[in-house]
Amino acid sequence: MDRIIAREPELSVIQAFIHRPVDRPRALVLEGASGIGKSTIWLAGVTAARQHCPHVLSSRPAETERSLANLVLTDLFREVSPGALAALPTPRRKAFESALLVGETEEQDVDPRALGAAVLSLLTSLAAEGPLLLAIDDDQWADASSIASLAFALRRLRSERVLLLLSRRVDSLPADGATPAYALEATLEPQAVERARIGPLSAGAIQLLLRGRLGIVLARPSLLRLHEASDGNPFFALELARAFSESGDPTAPLVVPPSIERLLAGRLRGLDRETRQALLLVAAHGRAPLSLMRRLGVRTRAIDRAMAEQLVEASDAAIRFTHPLLASTLYQRARAEERRAAHLRLAAVVADPIARARHLALGTLVPDDRVAGALESAANMGRARGTPTAAAELAEHAMRLTPAGQMDDALRRGAIAARAHLEAGNAGRARAIASAQLAHAARGPQRAQALILGSALEEPGPAVALLQDGLREAASAPAIRAAIHARLGDVGRFVLGRDRAEQHVRAALRLARRLKDEQLQVR
C-alpha cells in the first residue's frame, strides 16, 4: 500500500482481513465521520486486494445516486466477462441484463428473485476461482434495489470465499430512515463481521498531512488551533488550512471555507430564533456551563431542541457542540453585530478575568482606551499564568483598540504581543509585529523601543546592530538607554567580546543608579 499518514493500525486490520484464510463470507466495515479518511483507507484496501484476490468488484455511490435503481450492481459487475453472463440460465441472464441495462435486451419488468439468483450465480462462479472482494465505499448512499439483490445472494452463500469491504459515514445516515446501511453485514453471522472505527488524527499527523499535501508548516499555536477546530478530521483540516490566515493573527476569526460550510449548513437550517441565539452564545463561549447559560437567561427548551438535533451535547455540566466546525459555521453565518452582542453578554457574567477580557475585546468594534487598558492587564496576567497564546491574542486586541495618537501605548502593547507570540513558539507572527512597529515608530525613544523588540527576535549579530541603532535613537531617554546597555552586556558577549560587553554592563549600572531603578541594578 502507498504510505498513508498515521493510519498504520487501520491498514494492518485491512491487511489481516484480506490475507486471512477464507472459509466463509466475511465482512469488514470501516466506520467514521465524514472526511475522517474512511475512503482513503477503503481505497488502500481495494488496491491491496487486487494483488491477492482474482476478482475485486467495487462501487463508490454518491448521495445524489440513491434513487437510481441497481446502480451499485452496475458498478460491481461492470467488468464481468461476457462468458460469465452467458453461463447463466436464461431467465437469470435476461433479468440481470434488463436490470443493469446491458446487452441488447429490451427493457422489461425485472423479477427480483431472478435478479437475486443471477447475482448469487455470479458470486458463486467468481469465488470458485479464488477469494472475491465486494467493496462498497460510502454504503449509506447505496441504492436499495442493489442492496436487496446482494443481500438475497449473500444469505444463500455458505462456504464461498466472499469478502465484503464496506465504508460507512455514521454521521450522515439519511434522516428519513431510507437507508440500506447494515443490510449486507446483517446477512452474515455476527462473528464474521469486523468493525474498524476510523478516528481523528493527532496534531503531529495533521502537520505531516499539511506539509505533504499543501507544502505548508504551521507554527505550533496555529497548528493546535487548526487541530482543535477540525477535531483531527483530515478533510476539514486541509480545507481550513487552505483558508487559514498566513499571518497567524490570533484575533482573526476562524474562516470556514465554502466547501465545509455547505456540508454543515444544512444541519443548522430550520432553527428557531431562540435556539439559534442560545447556540450562538455556546459557540462564542466554546464550552458553556449550564449555570452560566441560566445566568444569561437561556431557557432549557432552547438547549433541548438543539440536543434533539444532535447539534450540542451536555458533558460535565456544560454544553458544547458535537463538532467544533458546527460551532464555527453557526458563528460565521451570524451577523457581526449578533456576534459582538453575544460576546458582551458573556463578558458580563464570566468569572475568569482573562476570559472576560477576551469576550470584551470580541464585543468591542471601535478603539476604546478603557477596554484596551483592561486587555493589556489581562495579557500580562496571561503571560504570568504561563498561557502565552491567550496573552498574545489579548495583547493584539489591545493594540487594535488603542485610540489613534496613543503611539506609546500601542508600542508597549505590541511588545507584549510579540514577546507572548515568541514564548508560544510563533516567531513568524512576533517578527511581523516587530517589523510593523519599527515601520510606524517615530524617530527617537519610540524607535528605540521598537529596535529593542526587534533585537529580541534576532541572532546575536543582527541583534547587536539593532541595539546599537537603538542607543543612538534613545539619546534623550536614559531609562531606555539603560535597558539597551543591559541587553548589549548580555548578547554582546558573543559579538563584541567580553571587555566591550562589560563596558555596556557598567554603563547600564550607572544609569540604573541615577534613575534609582533597583530592578535593573539587580539584573
User: Which pLDDT tens digits describe the chain residue by residue (523 residues)?
Assistant: 447 999 999 999 999 999 999 899 999 999 998 889 999 999 999 999 999 999 999 999 877 577 678 889 999 998 888 888 889 999 999 999 988 877 665 656 788 899 999 999 999 999 999 999 999 998 988 888 899 999 999 999 999 999 999 999 886 554 444 456 688 999 999 999 999 999 999 999 999 999 998 899 988 888 998 998 888 999 889 888 877 755 567 777 777 777 777 767 877 888 999 999 999 999 999 889 999 999 999 999 999 999 998 889 887 788 988 877 788 889 989 999 999 999 999 999 998 899 999 999 999 999 999 999 999 999 999 998 888 888 999 999 999 999 998 999 999 999 999 999 988 888 889 999 999 999 989 999 999 999 999 998 899 999 999 999 999 999 889 999 999 999 999 998 889 888 998 999 999 888 888 887 655 544 5
Task: Output the pLDDT for position 518.
Answer: 56
Cell of 259: 466547501
| Residue 273 CB partners (closer than 8 Å, separation 6+) | none
Are the C-beta atoms of 362 and 340 separated by less than 8 Å? yes
| Alpha-helical runs (H) found in 77-202 | 82-86, 90-100, 112-127, 144-155
pLDDT at 424: 85
Report the pLDDT value the prediction gives residue 521, as an integer from 0 to 100: 47
- Rounded to whole angstroms, the Cα distance separating 171 from 325 reads 14
What does DSSP assign to residue 493?
G
Q: What is the predicted pLDDT for the residue at 335?
A: 95
pTM above 0.95, yes or no: no
* Eight-class DSSP state of 33: -
How far apart are the C-alpha atoms of 10 and 346, rounded to whole Å? Answer: 43
Q: What are phi and psi of 164, to 5 degrees?
A: -110, 125
Q: Which long-range contacts (CB under 8 A, 24 or more apart) does 434-440 make?
A: 437/411, 440/407
- In this prediction, residue 240 carries a pLDDT of 85
Q: What's 412-426 look like in SS3?
A: HHHHHHHHHHHHHCC
Q: Give pLDDT tens digits for 64-111.
A: 577 678 889 999 998 888 888 889 999 999 999 988 877 665 656 788
- The CA–CA distances, whole Å, from 395 to 23, 358, 398 equal 66, 10, 5
How far does Cα 149 stand from its chain's mean position?
39
For every residue of 53-66, DSSP letters joined together read -SEEEEE---GGGT
